[in-house]
Amino acid sequence: MADWSKIEALPATKLEQLFADDADRLSRLSLGVAGIHFDFSKTHLTMDAITAFEQLARETDLAGRREAMFTGSHVNVTEDRPVEHTAERGEGLPDSVARAGAYHARMRALIDAIESDALGPVRHILHVGIGGSALGPHLLVDALGREDKRYDVAIVSNVDGIALEDVFERFDPAATLLVVASKTFTTTETMMNAESVIAWMTEHGVEDPYGRVVALTASPDKATEWGVDETRVLPFSEGVGGRYSLWSSIGFPAALALGWDAFEQLLDGAAEMDRHFRLSALHENAPALAAFADLYYTQVRHAETRAPFAYDERLRLLPSYLQQLEMESNGKGVTIEGKPVGRPTAAITWGGVGTDAQHAVFQLLHQGTHLIPVEFIAVIEAGDTLDEGHHKQLLLNAFAQGGALMKGKQVDDPARSYSGDRPSSTLLLDQCDPRTLGALIAFYEHRVFVNGVLLNINSFDQFGVELGKEMAKEAAKGGGDFDPSTNDLIKRAFG
Ligand code: F6P
């Protein structure tokens, strides 16, 4: 049994006091990995807290479970399978790494074929997918594809037809490649969107619309049954979870739009973070330290949310990506043994983009009654070419906000006072390039894993999403055992 008592008994010393007490605090609580500077010094982590978490990690066998993940044990216990996303970047069981390599080779060959016009002209890539089959590729294309755009890429996830119609207005059906991304190849939204794209192509005279489709899936048979030729089906392993899948063929639109070299660099950056996570002692291990801070706030200080803010337009989709990664992975109520977990699990992840968020939600962060650990993600190398110092302003704002949250300010008027002692961490990337982004995303994956192990939950299933889907399917068939309120809403909308 894991003993949380030492952690729960940690004193709530103020941040400024922690800095005053330890001249080495900054160096002890900051580290550089794979082109990212991690600064956890403005969290309430202390050496005593880290020691207590290291003890908890021993009691929960973090080292053993980490090795089990990297070596293909069935750590996804409820679905009785291994997790293979690290194998996609070359870190895992040799068989899984070899299989991922073969799938990547297939992906690369298809990219080469498309680039040599084997499928006819392609100027537009219309990727349909949802959740993990959209958020990852969307983040990659948006973050890395701003300059030197080879293709116009649209990622459509919502079943609301407005999303597709917006794309139809600007894409040429004859020059559009439809990419259908679905691990299961059964997801209602994705399949409905895919059918509508085929209908749009057909209506606009595309002779063989299915000949313009690439399928990304762990269920290749379903894709061929749906009409995609086997040569354009890019499989990936069942062991690659949806929200961990951008490294697999799900990353296809990014690899096509950004180029294969960029995709390989992304994998290399992630692999560097994998090795750091696997081999470093916990007190100098970025994902572990971040998870310790997460758990300190959720378990000891009862924080219910955490808020990452991307101080860079290139990373504006990161908060949404993290919402799925963190909440779908660790928003659980039972342990891996199926018992009630008995303590809070994942914090609610929300956040936004700086500096916009400062003028909208930061009021609550500075003076509200909730304790919300904030995370600033910024990039040293500017993404813009304007001479007027925009990037400097951006970075200085990020740093000043973190400083202000910690320092606070006391004046005679309570309405104008700031309590201070509000925690934040900062992730400062040297560049926003594929390699660094790969490392950053892998950092978040491993942080989620450490949280999951210390809470003794399975971070790799997501049964919580099923009930609502099932009930929507029943309702679509005109059935469903609904309550009076839900029945009334259905009646109002459809008579
Ligand atoms: O409903 C949640 C979910 O299963 C996610 O876990 C997944 O990323 C998404 O739906 C899409 O699933 P698929 O890739 O099978 O279409």
Q: Which positions are annotated as active-site residues? A: 328, 359, 469
pLDDT band at 454 (very low <50, low <70, confident <90, very high): very high
Q: What is the pLDDT of residue 201?
A: 98
- pLDDT, averaged across the chain: 96
pTM over the 0.95 mark: yes
Residues 45-53 have a mean pLDDT of: 97
CA–CA distance, 138 with 258 (Å, rounded to integer): 12
The closest residue, in CA terms, to atom 8 on ligand 1 is: 132
In the predicted model, is pLDDT for residue 246 greater than 80? yes
Does residue 217 sit in the same domain as residue 335?
Answer: no
Does residue 325 sit in the same domain as residue 436?
Answer: yes
Does residue 145 sit in the same domain as residue 234?
Answer: yes
Report the phi/psi class of residue 443: left, alpha or beta, with left for phi > 0 and alpha for psi in -120 to 50: alpha
What is the share, in percent, of the chain residues with pLDDT greater than 90? 95
Q: Report CA(469)–ligand 1 centroid distance (Å).
A: 11
The closest residue, in CA terms, to atom 6 on ligand 1 is: 242
By most ligand atoms within 8 Å of CB, the mutation choice from 158, 159, 184, 216 for ligand 1 is: 184
pLDDT band at 495 (very low <50, low <70, confident <90, very high): confident
Q: Report CA(451)–ligand 1 centroid distance (Å).
A: 22
Does residue 319 sit in the same domain as residue 387?
Answer: yes
Does residue 406 sit in the same domain as residue 258?
Answer: no
Q: Could you report the per-residue pLDDT of 249-304, keeping only the tens digit for each?
A: 999 999 999 999 999 999 999 999 999 999 999 999 999 999 999 999 999 999 99
Q: Report CA(298)–ligand 1 centroid distance (Å).
A: 27
Does residue 293 sit in the same domain as residue 421?
Answer: yes
Determine the atom of ligand 1 nearest the C-alpha atom of 462: 6
Determine the atom of ligand 1 nearest the C-alpha atom of 189: 16
Q: What is the pLDDT of residue 15?
A: 98
Does residue 309 sit in the same domain as residue 450?
Answer: yes
Q: What is the pLDDT of residue 338?
A: 96
Q: What is the CA radius of gyration of the chain?
A: 24
Domain end among 248, 264, 280:
264
In the predicted model, is pLDDT for residue 83 greater than 80? yes
Domain end among 235, 264, 293:
264
pLDDT band at 480 (very low <50, low <70, confident <90, very high): confident
Does residue 472 sit in the same domain as residue 459?
Answer: no
By most ligand atoms within 8 Å of CB, the mutation choice from 85, 182, 183 for ligand 1 is: 183
Domain count, the chain: 3
Query: CB within 6 Å of ligand 1 — which residues?
Result: 130-133, 182-184, 187, 190, 242-243, 328, 462, 465
pLDDT band at 149 (very low <50, low <70, confident <90, very high): confident
Q: What is the pLDDT of residue 57?
A: 98
In the predicted model, is pLDDT for residue 411 greater than 80? yes
Domain end among 233, 264, 295:
264
CA–CA distance, 246 with 216 (Å, rounded to integer): 11
Q: Could you report the per-residue pLDDT of 158-173, keeping only the tens digit for each?
A: 999 999 999 999 999 9
Give the pair of three-digit tokens for residue 138. 């969307």
Residues 457-470 have a mean pLDDT of: 94
CA nearest to 137, candidates 212, 36, 248: 248
Q: Report CA(131)–ligand 1 centroid distance (Å).
A: 5
Does residue 259 sit in the same domain as residue 313?
Answer: no
Q: Report CA(101)–ligand 1 centroid distance (Å).
A: 23
Q: Report CA(6)–ligand 1 centroid distance (Å).
A: 39
The whole domain housing 380 covers: 5-79+265-464
Q: Could you report the per-residue pLDDT of 361-392, keeping only the tens digit for each?
A: 999 999 999 999 999 999 999 999 998 899 99
Determine the atom of ligand 1 nearest the C-alpha atom of 132: 8
Q: What is the pLDDT of residue 479?
A: 82
Determine the atom of ligand 1 nearest the C-alpha atom of 135: 8
Give the pair of three-digit tokens for residue 422. 């509000």
In the predicted model, is pLDDT for residue 320 greater than 80? yes
The closest residue, in CA terms, to atom 1 on ligand 1 is: 465
CA nearest to 216, candidates 95, 81, 102, 107: 107
Question: CATH number, domain at 258?
Answer: 3.40.50.10490
Does residue 35 sit in the same domain as residue 183?
Answer: no
CA–CA distance, 374 with 380 (Å, rounded to integer): 19
Does residue 280 sit in the same domain as residue 341?
Answer: yes
By most ligand atoms within 8 Å of CB, the mutation choice from 465, 466, 473 for ligand 1 is: 465
Does residue 101 sit in the same domain as residue 238?
Answer: yes
pLDDT band at 477 (very low <50, low <70, confident <90, very high): confident
In the predicted model, is pLDDT for residue 220 greater than 90? yes
